[in-house]
Amino acid sequence: MAERTPNTVDYRPAPGTIPTQPGVYTFRDKHDRVIYVGKAKNLRARLSNYFQDLSQLHPRTRTMVQTANRVQWTVVGSEFEALNLEYTWIKRFNPRFNVMYRDDKTYPMLAISVKDRFPRAYLYRGPRRKGVRYFGPYPKAWAIRETLESLTRVFPIRTCAPGVFRRHEALGRPCLLGYIDRCSAPCVGKVTEDEHRALVDQFSSFLAGNTEPVLRRVRGEMEEAAENLDFERAASLRDQLQAMEKAMEKQAVVFSDATDADV
């Protein structure tokens, strides 16, 4: 049963019933229409902000809370998964109290051209198209660039434009990223189509929030290399681990920057 405290609302969830995991929440009005969608690293901590003394809330937030009739939430596996689900629901429900992401053409996304023979990852703004997988939108373009910079150290997938790819394919030698192992250089046949596609799948899975299996594998390989006195490989795996952790930190920063964008 909802608990009522002075100057709050009747539908306030009972103490301890809100989970502490990442998730997405919706406020609905008396007609069961979604009027606001939000996300949280910690659902309990985030939602408790709405159910404090109403007089302490921003006027727009107070109006939303008073218009609502109930609140619901969905737990997800990661902050980045919450970011994507929030966007999906905002586009689906078009909540009246959400302003951010109404026009997704203005926000940058990380796109992967999955229909291409050798898919590429790139920063994109504009309408979504078939044959492309999107992550985001992100509030900041720099977060996409830094995420790509970090993750291509671990998953060296193609990031170049079609013209650049064709030029190096004709030259028979890779670009700088291929020489420094930030790209697997499919343009010159250093990897097969299937091998590159596998890297793209791993890259996409990591971005979708399936991070723990990869982190465990790399940690295990690093420890094994160190035990075998293969210090060069251990150092390389350590660098990969740090790159993935840096990418995850960037996602957390993006997540924090996007919080409270509306109410």
Q: What's the pLDDT tens digit per position in 245-259? A: 777 766 655 555 444
Confidence of residue 105 (pLDDT cuts 50, 70, 90): low
Please tell me whether the overall predicted TM-score, pTM, comes out greater than 0.75 for this model.
no
Domain-embedded: residue 76 = yes
Per the structure, the count of domains in the chain is 2
Q: Quickly count: other Cβ atoms within 10 Å of residue 119's Cβ.
A: 23
Q: Which range of residues forms the domain containing residue 82?
A: 23-98
Q: What is the pLDDT of residue 63?
A: 94
pLDDT digit string, tens, across residues 127-146? 889 999 998 777 778 888 88
Rounded to whole angstroms, how far apart are CA atoms 91 and 67?
21
Question: Are 113 and 84 within one domain?
Answer: no
pLDDT digit string, tens, across residues 201-224? 999 988 877 778 888 888 899 999
Confidence of residue 103 (pLDDT cuts 50, 70, 90): low
Smallest Cα–Cα separation from 39: which of 14, 56, 54, 22? 22
Q: Which amino acid is at 96?
A: R
Domain-embedded: residue 153 = yes
Q: 38 φ, ψ to 5°?
A: -140, 170
Q: How many CA atoms lie within 13 A of 18 on its CB side?
A: 27
Domain-embedded: residue 197 = yes
Domain-embedded: residue 240 = yes
Q: CATH number of the domain that 68 lies in?
A: 3.40.1440.10
Average pLDDT in the chain: 86
Question: Are 139 and 197 within one domain?
Answer: yes
Question: Are 45 and 173 within one domain?
Answer: no
Per DSSP, the residues of 102-138 read: SSGGGS-EEEE-TTSSS-BEEEE-SS--TT-EEE---
Domain-embedded: residue 11 = no
Higher pLDDT, 84 or 1: 84
Q: 24: which strand partners?
A: 39, 74
Domain-embedded: residue 8 = no
Question: Are 84 and 123 within one domain?
Answer: no
Does residue 189 register a pLDDT over 90?
A: yes
Question: Are 195 and 137 within one domain?
Answer: yes
Question: Are 48 and 121 within one domain?
Answer: no
Domain-embedded: residue 15 = no
Question: Are 116 and 91 within one domain?
Answer: no
Question: Are 243 and 174 within one domain?
Answer: yes
Does residue 65 register a pLDDT over 60?
A: yes
Please name the residues in contact with 216: beta carbons below 8 A apart, sequence gap of 6 or more. Answer: none
Q: What is the pLDDT of residue 260?
A: 46
Question: Are 145 and 87 within one domain?
Answer: no
